[in-house]
Structure 1
Amino acid sequence: MIVDYTKVKHIYLVCGKTDMRKSIDGLAALVQDQFDMDVFDDCLFLFCGGGRNKYKALHWDGDGFILLYKRLENGVIQWPRSSSEVRNISQQELRWLLEGLSIEQPKAIKKVSPGHFH
């Protein structure tokens, strides 16, 4: 089964460089040990290598893990290289990222919360 990222509760980006030789167990251990997060939650965890042309996605679907791996043949991903942290991103930010754009889009129209109208 392919992961429908529009239906997961949260999308988490593991910032910085991840060793892309890690398999399911290694990536799950990273999430649990380094970030103290529940890898069995309804989340999609994303990891990127040093060359920024490969990424992996890890998701628990209820009876097993799904590991997706993509290598770009042209271009790089604008992956946040800040310190080793996990960042919760929106579906829109994920689309921007996977299209080669930065998740920081300063010209994008921001959502407005009810009660904050002028």
Structure 2
Amino acid sequence: MFMIRPSNSSLKVYVYSGVVDMRKQIDGQAALVETTMEVNPFSKRLVVFTNKRRDKLKILAWDKNGFLVWYERLEKQRFLRLKGDHNRVLSIKDLNLYLDGYDINRFKPHEPLKIEKVA
């Protein structure tokens, strides 16, 4: 199986929490990023969009001199709704788990400890 996935772990992944008509082209999606999310669409980041049925997903990214778009259409399953606001940031690892169908909303790591001295 041939699959192209984002792998640069230094990239930020922003999630657009609303639904998007997948007929919307690159310029329309970039405008959503700029106006609704108040994020620069020309910076080094990925922005994830899903449609109302959550069977389609697009990822928009700027690459030096033009936009890239990843597009995935599921035949039977659905992408889970990601919780959070328009500026929720995911890691590349979480994005790839999400693309594989995992519910990353339920993945919750241990809370960080703030220890000031040894017992």
Cα offset for 1:8? 4.7
Instruction: Please list the CA deviations of residues 46-80 of structure 1 after superposition, one character each: whole Å capped at 9, or x if unmatched.
Output: 10000111000111000100112110112111122
1:93 aligns with 2:99: no
Q: 1:17 to 1:78 in 2, by over 3 A?
A: same
Q: CA RMSD in A?
A: 2.5
Identity of aligned residues (%): 31
Q: Give the TM-score of the pair, scaled to structure 1.
A: 0.80
CA distance in 2, matches of 1:99, 1:52: 14
Instruction: Please list the CA deviations of residues 13-67 of structure 1 after superposition, one character each: whole Å capped at 9, or x if unmatched.
Output: 1113112111100000000011211001100111000011100011100010011
Which protein has the larger Cα radius of gyration, Structure 1 or Structure 2? Answer: 2
Residue matched to 1:26: 28
- Extract unaligned runs of 5+ from structure 1: none
CA distance in 1, matches of 2:44, 2:115: 31
Cα offset for 1:9? 2.4
Say which is worse superposed, 52-61 or 8-17, in terms of deviation. 8-17
Cα offset for 1:81? 6.0
Q: How does 1:1-118 map to 2 (within 5 A)?
A: 4-80=6-82, 85-106=86-107, 108-110=108-110, 112=112, 116=115
- Extract unaligned runs of 5+ from structure 2: none
Aligned length: 114
